């Protein structure tokens, strides 16, 4: 195993270069471009008065998310879902994951009856788009909440500490952090972890489509993910303080 090297020269537990650009666009309350290496996702947070029916008269707010891939984000152009008339199962699955993850970063009872819509649009895909989206969406969310507070719309203090996400995989039997597309397609196992700053799990999703995995491998992947998420949370903090 000593002679395994990653195509991009990274250490096994090293993240790709992370860049978080705030105020990427000006119309939404929060707008962030997040980059994990060549993966680039535009994350916006828009605020709407009122909540969906199932939260009405609860005194609480709501947060929801939509993920999508631009047609030319991938190596082979992928068909636009609005034109095919079908939203793919994968798209739904990731949108739901982002929504659940970011609801762990907001205290809905402090939000008033407002809804935050997160949009995560992948401009360029090179693996890890869902984890980049979660990591960037937190920063957009933080900015949007600042706007709401400045406008006096939000009575309380709904923002919770950073939530971030990273992927880990087993590639040729090695635990590799933050997989680019080239590693992702040949990984035996793929694990996505979403974690709070307190080191608690929000989501753990491990899939062994090309091979199952034992308890020890799971543990090694969880360790690697935690290390990566700590660094991502530092990047989130740094971006917000810039």
- Minimum CB separation of residue 58 from its own copies in Å reads 15
Nearer to its own copies, 5 or 108 (CB): 108
Does 90 appear as a known binding residue?
Answer: yes
Does 128 appear as a known binding residue?
Answer: yes
- Minimum CB separation of residue 3 from its own copies in Å reads 26
Nearer to its own copies, 107 or 238 (CB): 107
Tell whether the torsion through CA atoms of 91, 97, 100 and 101 is positive or negative.
Answer: negative
Nearer to its own copies, 12 or 70 (CB): 70
Sites of contact with its own copies (CB under 8 A): 25-28, 31, 38, 40, 42, 44, 46, 48, 66, 68, 70-75, 77, 80-83, 85-93, 95-96, 100, 103-104, 117, 119, 121, 123-125, 191, 195-196, 198-209, 212-215, 218, 222
Long-range contacts of 103-106, Cβ-Cβ distance < 8 Å, separation of 24 or more? 103/63, 104/160, 104/163, 104/194, 104/196, 104/202, 105/138, 105/141, 105/159, 105/160, 105/161, 105/162, 105/163, 105/196, 106/61, 106/63, 106/141, 106/145, 106/158, 106/159, 106/160
Annotated binding site for phosphate: 90, 128-130
Annotated binding site: 90, 128-130
């Amino acid at each position: 195993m000593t002679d395994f090297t990653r195509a991009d020269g990274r250490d096994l537990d090293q993240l790709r270069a992370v860049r978080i650009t705030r105020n990427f666009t000006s119309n939404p309350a929060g707008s962030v471009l997040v980059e994990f290496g060549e993966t680039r996702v535009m994350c916006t947070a828009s605020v709407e008065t009122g909540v969906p029916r199932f939260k009405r008269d609860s005194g609480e707010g709501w947060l929801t998310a939509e993920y999508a891939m631009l047609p030319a984000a991938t190596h082979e152009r992928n068909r636009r879902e609005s034109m095919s008339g079908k939203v793919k199962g994968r798209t739904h699955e990731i949108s739901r994951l982002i929504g659940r993850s970011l609801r762990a970063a907001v205290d809905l009872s402090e939000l008033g009856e407002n809804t935050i819509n997160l949009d995560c649009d992948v401009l360029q895909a090179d693996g890890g788009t869902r984890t980049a989206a979660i990591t960037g969406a937190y920063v957009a969310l933080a900015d949007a909440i600042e706007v709401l507070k400045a406008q006096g719309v939000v009575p309380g203090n709904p923002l919770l500490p950073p939530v971030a996400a990273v992927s880990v995989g087993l590639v040729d039997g090695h635990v590799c952090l933050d997989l680019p597309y080239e590693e992702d397609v040949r990984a035996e196992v793929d694990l996505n972890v979403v974690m709070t700053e307190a080191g608690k799990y929000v989501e753990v999703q491990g899939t062994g489509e090309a091979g199952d995995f034992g308890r020890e491998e799971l543990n090694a992947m969880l360790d690697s993910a935690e290390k990566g998420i700590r660094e991502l949370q530092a990047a989130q903090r740094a971006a917000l303080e810039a």
